[in-house]
Structure 1
Amino acid sequence: MSQENNQEKKKKQAPGGYIGFVAGVFSGIAKNAVGHPFDTIKVRLQTDSTRFTGPLDCCYKTLKTQGIKGFYLGFTPPLFGWIMMDSVMLGSLHNYRRLIKRHFYSDEPKLDLKGHIFAGVLAGWTVSFIAAPVELAKVKLQVQYGAKNNRYSGPISVIKDVYKQHGLGINGLYKGLISTLIFRTNFITWWGTYEVFTNLMKDHTSMSDFAINFWAGGLSASCFWITAYPSDVVKSYLLANDKFDGSFKSWKLATKEIYQNKGWRGFTKGFVPSILRSFPANAAALAAFEAVLRATGASSS
């Protein structure tokens, strides 16, 4: 009886759904600090087929012509953007898990794999409405290669220019919304494998919770990028090229042009820095997220 009372007391003391959004802030900071240089190389390889021969050549030329700063071009949008996006993504993930648990798994001790996948996809679609304009600004800054040719001075410059020319809608700041929704539908893989890896490590290792979150976060993110990468190439290509009008057919047009110009290999451009980035950036991000939830007495599931 006392054990049941203690469990009830813990439930009452546990913070509400807001804590997922707070924990997501720490995730965004960790992710951007670790991952942005990799992301810059990835985007440059995705959007320019003639300037670089590969990731090492891209690193060398970026360092030679722009120094360390070159790897952090477009850093400001994702710095604030990742904080905002991870807060929304992981906060909504946390709350979708709570809602699904409450309404569909009320008699079960925890969510099953299907519940985690469903919550993950809903979180991906939710954050897409924040991610689309942030990623538009990031990509346009990342594909600037020299001061003389720079069109934009920073993220505000991008936002102002795009808004002035095309407005707020699907032709303007939300040009990449459809491609972003398609890309984040692959959260099926991410959150499904995260749950699988987490359970396997809990059952078959003696690692700490932090270590399990770190390894499960990194491995699941790598699985996600393997399945999602072609759609990310299309998204970056679409955002970097102004000739697409942002209509609902733009994603198809971008896909067709990539294939016509580069074949199937075109959908793997920049994959190496992306997969190298995926493990450390997301391992750190999810370990930070789960650590905050544990510290506050909240549950991630």
Structure 2
Amino acid sequence: MVMEDSRKPSGYKEYVAGLFAGVATVVVGHPFDTVKVKLQKHNTNVQGITYRNGFHCTARILATEGGGVQSSRPRPQVIIPSAAFAGAIISFVLCPSELVKCRMQIQGTDSLVPKCSGYSSSLDCALKTIKSDGVTGAFRGGSTTFLRESIGNAVFFSVYEYVRYYMHLQLKSGSSDHNNLVDMGIGILSGGLGGVAFWSTVLPLDVAKTIIQTAPDKSSPTNPFQVLNSIYRMSGLRGCYTGLGPTILRAFPANAAAIVTWEIAMKFLGIKNN
């Protein structure tokens, strides 16, 4: 009788679980609801701006209310938590895809992986991982990806916003002509430096993630700090920054291209991002 009672979930625990579920629903769904309400208000009213669609409305919100307007000083109290939260959400999508990517990348001429246990394609890798480790196996290294993306995005957008702000400030004080070419140059520099800052900060976590996700043994440690401690003891600080050269070489042009493309898209949608 006692054992049967202990198996029954208590009422308050179910209430707390439901509370957390409700909070998660509101947090994730609120931005979409904001867009919906703005569309309903503005597109049914003769006065004021009329949004072309949901994407146009979202872009307007980001440009005018999300810290993107460069007329005021960047606000770290807004940038850091917003970017970190976005990175945390992204990590849930990135983790399985990066696990497959890393396992495919370690195959090759110098690979320690036997050819008989190799993967013929990304789909083959994903299916074999799920078959051997279950669905949770696809999220191996999830906590490390979570840390990398949340910390990295906070650093990236902080550097991006401040570099962009001070460059615009210098241009205004120098009374230079502000044209599209100048905007593109600012985007390249601010995006590129943001990318370099991102990877310079979180590369040790990326190293740990690679080790965790490509470990052949299921019982291998998944704690990134435990893995980094092991690497540090074996190879020192240099080992924790393995791959720094190609990572930085990739970070500047890749992130510069991403930011410039985003800013061009904003202009194409008719959104000013001064």
What is the TM-score normalised by the length of structure 2? 0.68
- How far has the Cα of 1:297 moved from its partner? 2.1
The residue that corresponds to 2:258 in the other structure is 285
The residue that corresponds to 1:142 in the other structure is 105
Provide runs of 4+ in structure 1 moved above 6 Å: 108-111
CA distance, structure 2, for counterparts of residue 299 and residue 244 of structure 1: 51
Letter in 2 for 1:16: G
Q: 1:239 aligns with which of 195, 199, 213?
A: 213
CA RMSD in angstroms comes to: 3.3
**Residue 284 and residue 110 in structure 1: after superposition, are their counterparts in 2 closer, same or farther (change >3 A)?**
same
CA distance, structure 1, for counterparts of residue 61 and residue 223 of structure 2: 31
1:11-26 alignment, distance < 5 Å:
11-13=49-51, 15-17=53-55
CA distance, structure 2, for counterparts of residue 120 and residue 192 of structure 1: 9
**Residue 119 and residue 211 in structure 1: after superposition, are their counterparts in 2 closer, same or farther (change >3 A)?**
same
The answer (yes or no) to whether the contact 1:116–1:191 under 8 Å persists in 2 is: yes
Deviation readout 1:215-259 (Å, 9 max, x if unpaired): 110011111111111111111111121225477x53233223212
The residue that corresponds to 1:253 in the other structure is 226
CA distance, structure 2, for counterparts of residue 188 and residue 116 of structure 1: 7
Aligned residues: 214
CA distance, structure 1, for counterparts of residue 248 and residue 228 of structure 2: 21
The residue that corresponds to 2:248 in the other structure is 275
Letter in 2 for 1:190: F
CA distance, structure 2, for counterparts of residue 157 and residue 139 of structure 1: 14
Q: 2:131 aligns with which of 145, 161, 164?
A: 164
**Residue 109 and residue 218 in structure 1: after superposition, are their counterparts in 2 closer, same or farther (change >3 A)?**
closer
Structure number with greater CO (CA < 8 Å, separation at least 6) is 1
Q: Show structure 2 runs of 5+ residues with no match.
A: 1-45
CA distance, structure 2, for counterparts of residue 232 and residue 164 of structure 1: 26
Question: Identity across aligned pairs (percent)?
Answer: 25
Q: 2:139 aligns with which of 174, 177, 180?
A: 174
The residue that corresponds to 2:120 in the other structure is 153
The answer (yes or no) to whether the contact 1:176–1:235 under 8 Å persists in 2 is: yes
The residue that corresponds to 1:49 in the other structure is none
**Residue 212 and residue 118 in structure 1: after superposition, are their counterparts in 2 closer, same or farther (change >3 A)?**
same
Q: 2:81 aligns with which of 109, 115, 118?
A: 118
Letter in 1 for 2:229: K
The answer (yes or no) to whether the contact 1:214–1:283 under 8 Å persists in 2 is: yes
Deviation readout 1:124-176 (Å, 9 max, x if unpaired): 1111010000100110111112397260111101100100011111xx00002
- How far has the Cα of 1:300 moved from its partner? 6.3
Q: 1:204 aligns with which of 156, 166, 170?
A: 170
* Bigger radius of gyration: 2
The answer (yes or no) to whether the contact 1:137–1:159 under 8 Å persists in 2 is: yes
CA distance, structure 2, for counterparts of residue 9 and residue 142 of structure 1: 56
Q: 2:150 aligns with which of 185, 189, 210?
A: 185
The answer (yes or no) to whether the contact 1:214–1:287 under 8 Å persists in 2 is: yes
- How far has the Cα of 1:298 moved from its partner? 3.5
The answer (yes or no) to whether the contact 1:175–1:246 under 8 Å persists in 2 is: no
What is the TM-score normalised by the length of structure 1? 0.62
Answer yes or no: is 1:213 the counterpart of 2:178. Answer: no
CA distance, structure 1, for counterparts of residue 56 and residue 217 of structure 2: 41
CA distance, structure 2, for counterparts of residue 96 and residue 185 of structure 1: 22
Deviation readout 1:74-114 (Å, 9 max, x if unpaired): xxxxxxxxxxxxxxxxxxxx799579x47x9xxx9786232
Letter in 1 for 2:207: V
CA distance, structure 2, for counterparts of residue 114 and residue 287 of structure 1: 25
CA distance, structure 1, for counterparts of residue 135 and residue 273 of structure 2: 35
1:9-158 alignment, distance < 5 Å:
11-13=49-51, 15-17=53-55, 101=65, 112-146=75-109, 149=115, 151-158=118-125
CA distance, structure 2, for counterparts of residue 218 and residue 11 of structure 1: 34
The answer (yes or no) to whether the contact 1:19–1:293 under 8 Å persists in 2 is: no
**Residue 19 and residue 219 in structure 1: after superposition, are their counterparts in 2 closer, same or farther (change >3 A)?**
farther
**Residue 121 and residue 152 in structure 1: after superposition, are their counterparts in 2 closer, same or farther (change >3 A)?**
same
